[in-house]
Amino acid sequence: NWFPFERSGAGQSFVDQGILVDDTEMSLERFGSAVDMILDASTGLPVLAVGAMRTKGLERSNDRFGAGFYYEYDSVNGTYVPVGGTLRGGESLGETGGLLGYAVALAQLNGGTKRMAVSSPSSSVFLTVTLDVGRIYTYELLDNGINETQWLLMTAEPLMGEASSFLGASIDLSSDGSALVAGAPGSLPADGTAGGSVFVYRWNDVDGTWDSVTVTDNTGVAGTESLGSAVQWIGVTDEWFAVGAPTANANAGMVRVYQRNIDGTYAPLGSDIVGTAENDGIGTVVCGRNGRLATGNANTGSFAVYEYNGASNAWDVVGSTFTPVDGTAVVACAMSDDGNTLAVGTATFQIVVYDLM
């Protein structure tokens, strides 16, 4: 079963590393609206991606477009240091208020290069027409030619969705940075007015492009699922990913897992995980690693971890369903790489960490 995390007997505990940024302007920029953390393969130290979806533009400094930021941990001084400059997108009229930094994803290539994706799901082509297409910008941390490390755009144009798709409401990079999964739920926040979709892109080194990959059953068929509200790679690299559809089945919610086929395409793996009652809203939050996934009830906060049972072609609960101590809705979660530790954030600003014992 899953138990609240305690390691006092081993002399280990979670230590507050301090506030990364603490000023009024950054709070207005919604700094911290999204975060992603990995360990640098060369140093073993944490590196952090942060979204700030109301950051003002560089050229149009009176308008808020959003941005991404990146930090590396300095173990000598015990602080997080910004590296590579601010990650910005375009500043066209249609991108005003697009919420760049609503979602961020960070990965490290086998050669050591860092790769980061930052999305603006509410960005439009024009302010009055072709609204909420969504954009995803991708960057690599490289030498800019004058002996400075800088985040440089990987492509001249971002990935873009269709009108009212909200592409980039959720994004995740595979651990090696070679594949990107993105949700386009059709509303933000999810309200059940659209079926939603999920997309996978694989980086093409030869052409320098993100190539779209076929995903079977990648769109909500009832038109009310909000598929793509949450996405997460849950395998070792890019073999499995999970997608949330919190408004499916009268808001009971659903989570679907996809597996990579031999030809590189993706198809559903096992039966869908579905909520048991109206308004459960499972799939609002999805996280996972090492073949396990976790999702919770958007109202009561009850939570469960699942793993695939090949014999029954279904996703079985690992341990038992549990509820965070304050019994309120779960709004965020993250799982350790081995799938045995789970961190859960609640609507009352509590964080509970669980170990599988």
Output the pTM of the full model.
0.92
Residue 304 in this model has a pLDDT that exceeds 80: yes
| Other Cβ atoms within 10 Å of 200 Cβ, number | 25
Confidence of residue 143 (pLDDT cuts 50, 70, 90): confident
Share of residues in the chain with pLDDT > 70 (%):
90
pLDDT over 90, % of the chain:
66
CA 151/CA 70 separation, integer angstroms? 9
Instruction: Tell me the per-residue pLDDT of 146-179, one tens digit each, with 9 for 90 and over.
Output: 667 899 999 999 999 999 999 999 999 999 999 9
pLDDT at site 2: 54
Mean pLDDT (the chain, rounded):
89
pLDDT on residue 14 = 54
Question: How high is the pLDDT of residue 48?
Answer: 94
**Separation CA 193–CA 266 (nearest Å):** 26
pLDDT band, residue 26 (cuts 50/70/90) = low
Domain-wise residue ranges, the chain: 2-356
- Say if CB 245 and CB 220 are below 8 A apart: yes
Mean pLDDT over 141-146 rounds to: 76
How confident is the model at residue 1, as a pLDDT?
54
Task: Flag whether pLDDT at 285 surpasses 80.
Answer: yes
CATH number of 2-356: 2.130.10.130
Which tokens in the block code for residue 258? 């996809």
Which residue from 355, 354, 351, 356 is spatially nearest to 35, judged by alpha carbons? 351
Asked which of 67-81, 90-104, 203-217, 335-349 is least confident by mean pLDDT, the reply is 335-349
In order of 30, 53, 320, 321, the CA distances from 301 in angstroms are 25, 26, 14, 10
- Is the predicted pLDDT of residue 7 greater than 60, yes or no? no
- Residue 326's pLDDT is 66
- Of the segments 12-21, 35-44, 261-270, which one has the largest average pLDDT value? 261-270
Q: What does the block give as tokens for 79?
A: 């602080």
Closest residue by Cα to residue 189 from 285, 96, 275: 285
The pLDDT tens digits for 89-109 are 999 988 999 999 999 999 999
- pLDDT for the residue numbered 104: 98
Q: Comparing C-alpha atoms, which of 268, 258, 333 is closest to residue 296?
A: 333
